[in-house]
Amino acid sequence: MTKRFALGVFEDEDVLLHAVENIRAAGVKIYEVFTPFPIHGIDDALGIERSRLPIAAFFYGLTGLAFALWLQIYTLGVDWPMIIGGKPHIALPAFIPVSFELTVFFCCHGMVITFYAISKLYPRWKTPVLDVRSTDDKFVVAIELKDGTDLGHLTQLLRANGASEVNEKEMSKF
Amino acid sequence: MQHVSPVREPLVTGGKSYHDVTQDVCRQVEAKPNIRWMAALSVALFFLGIFFYSVYRTLWYGIGEWGLNKTIGWAWDITNFVWWVGIGHAGTLISAVLLLFRQKWRTSINRAAEAMTIFAVICAAMFPVLHMGRPWLAYWVFPLQNTFGSLWVNFNSPLLWDVFAISTYFTVSLVFWYTGLVPDFATIRDRAKGPIAKVAYSLLSMGWKGSAKHWSRYETVSLILAGVSTPLVLSVHTIVSMDFATSVVPGWHTTIFPPYFVAGAIFSGFAMVLTLMLITRVVFKLEDYITLEHIALMNKIMMITGSIVGVAYITEFFIAWYSQVEFEQYAFINRATGPYWWAYAAMMTCNVITPQLVWIRRVRYSIPATFVLSIIVNIGMWFERFVIIVTSLHRDYLPSSWAMFSPTIIDIGIYVGTLGLFFTLFLLFAKFFPVINMAEVKSVLKYTVDNGPTYTGVDPHHAHAHQPATHGVPASAPVNYNKHD
């Protein structure tokens, strides 16, 4: 479906931050903000909830730890017990390194895969962007234009808040 | 906004704007390969050829092509393995530990250092795999069902711990590096002119658009990866050192090994980062990003870790005497005065004495001196591993099996070959990937540029240029500040 956007282009991240707060305060819904680098404080300004990825990472790590302990105890203690160096079959201190490594392995890869999945990031042949300068040096506020949106009013609002340009763009598959 | 002390030098010099950063970093990605790069790549490919030939000889004729004998079953291969893994550690240290400590200067060097980590670990992995003799059975190190043999792998063995440590370290470093690259690939994609570049960087950038929500998650992911990579990097070299420390060979059986190896790893890693950075900044004209300040800071870390290593050498000697274990005492006397005294002398000179020159400010800030010093440290750290491995093995409890080791041309070929492999990968990276993390440099640019004015909430200088805003907007909101004026 084709969507229409008003794009407020900003030159400076602090101007953008204030603009985002003011635009939201004026009751305008911001579709998305595109920036060339992470801006601290924009999460609060946009009302983005804190990511729950750390919690996911913790449980992935826990899974890794459980798997590692099961693997070592099952293979050396249950399936085929052997006496190695006169030590007990289940020599827990010797299992620490592998348990740690697998905890880290599961934690990192689980979290990163989740990050790419929930952000819908995957390799694509073509990547349509609203403003190519938003990965270079411009900060772009995208506001979706629905039928009946007053573009003039919006432009004025964006400009008043420091936008250097206001553009209109249509985008399908966005 | 972070407070930056006025006495500190700016992290990025030359008063760069965001767009300048993009231009400077993308320049070498978009330009045609220059002659210096081509020349360097040819040399690297020549050594890569030596690597393939040596590997072919090793696999076709077997491990007998190496200089090993029944007393010295580990020599150059494991020396090189430990050396390469150690080099890799600086990348993780820079990207993870310095991130946790909020050392902003890391932003200019973390990308290349992480790349170095990955390539160094690839080189390191060659040695244990080739030492297996039949690398096509390398999967036997994984815990697989009994159908592959009659037994499970032995989880009590440090060599198996190594398998898990190195695999985890490699894959985690790879995703950490790649996730950091994604936003920069998006920058290159959005600038790309050619159809191939457009598609290639679109695929690589995973559809990144720089949306605020994605950045928020990205930062969370980076922070957690850094937090987890920090103990990981320490664990990896700890486990590598346990390959030796858990044995009963005099000279290896010491509890000091884990911290001593970790310090040595960081030491050699920073030396390699310096070597690479000094070349990269000149070849790609990135002097404004990798400044003398960066070089001095890295020199300091190198000197500190070098001193830790020096203390470890002395401690080992002291403990050998203090323990009153004659085998242990002999191992150390033999190291310093035995037939391999020259290796020990090289190690001591390169690792303990020369890095102390960094105390002198002029040396710390001198590019030629730093370059020479970084090469010396890498030589010294190679000798350290050689000393630990070969001089401990060549004379242990049983004098009748004492022996000497001399490398064959194949041993040497594989070693210099991995250097070729490393530099081939690094040169390809430097040409096709952004060598500096653009997004991160842009995020620290503002409060580090010395002469660039910054937004302070109320800017009297610019306020008069605007009409008072309506719609409840504060009248002081500045507009369209052009960084180029």
pLDDT in tens, A119-132: 989 998 888 888 88
More confident of the two residues B101 and A61? A61
**Residue in A closest to B456 by C-alpha:** A14
Phi, psi of A9, rounded to the nearest 5 degrees? -100, 125
Phi, psi of B248, rounded to the nearest 5 degrees? -110, 15
Question: pLDDT at position B9, please?
Answer: 62
Burial of B259 (0-12, 13-18, 19+ CB in 10 A): middle
> What is the residue type of A144?
E
Question: pLDDT at position B284, please?
Answer: 82
Contact at CB, A37 and B215, closer than 8 angstroms: yes
Q: Does A97 touch chain B (CB under 8 A)?
A: yes
Question: pLDDT at position B191, please?
Answer: 87
Question: pLDDT at position B475, please?
Answer: 40
Contact at CB, B228 and A18, closer than 8 angstroms: no
Q: How confident is the model at residue B318 (pLDDT cuts 50, 70, 90)?
A: very high
Q: How many Å apart are CA B413 and CA B33, to the nearest integer?
A: 29
Residue B176: its chain A contacts at CB < 8 A?
A: 108
Residue B175 pLDDT more than 70?
yes
Contact at CB, A122 and B478, closer than 8 angstroms: no
- Optimal mutation site among B23, B177, B211, interface A, most CBs of chain A within 10 A: B211
Q: Does B246 touch chain A (CB under 8 A)?
A: no
pTM: 0.88
Q: Is there a contact between B16 and B449 (Cβ–Cβ < 8 Å)?
A: yes
> Residues A44-60: pLDDT tens digits?
888 888 889 999 999 99
Question: pLDDT at position A4, please?
Answer: 83
> Residues B386-434: pLDDT tens digits?
999 999 999 989 899 999 999 999 999 999 999 999 999 999 998 899 9
> Residues B110-134: pLDDT tens digits?
888 899 999 999 999 999 999 988 8
B205/chain A closest Cα distance in angstroms: 7
**Residue in B closest to A157 by C-alpha:** B471
Q: How many Å apart are CA B358 and CA B370, to the nearest integer?
A: 9
Contact at CB, B161 and A98, closer than 8 angstroms: yes
Contact at CB, A25 and B472, closer than 8 angstroms: yes
| Prediction ipTM score | 0.92
Stretch 19-58 of chain B: residues touching chain A, C-beta under 8 Å: 19, 22
- CA angle at B312 for the pair B386 and A94, rounded to the nearest 5°: 80
The arithmetic mean of pLDDT across residues B305-331, rounded, is 92
Start-end of H helices in B255-391 = 257-283, 292-323, 326-337, 341-348, 361-364, 367-386
Place of tokens 């290159």: B188
- Optimal mutation site among A5, A9, A10, A12, interface B, most CBs of chain B within 10 A: A12
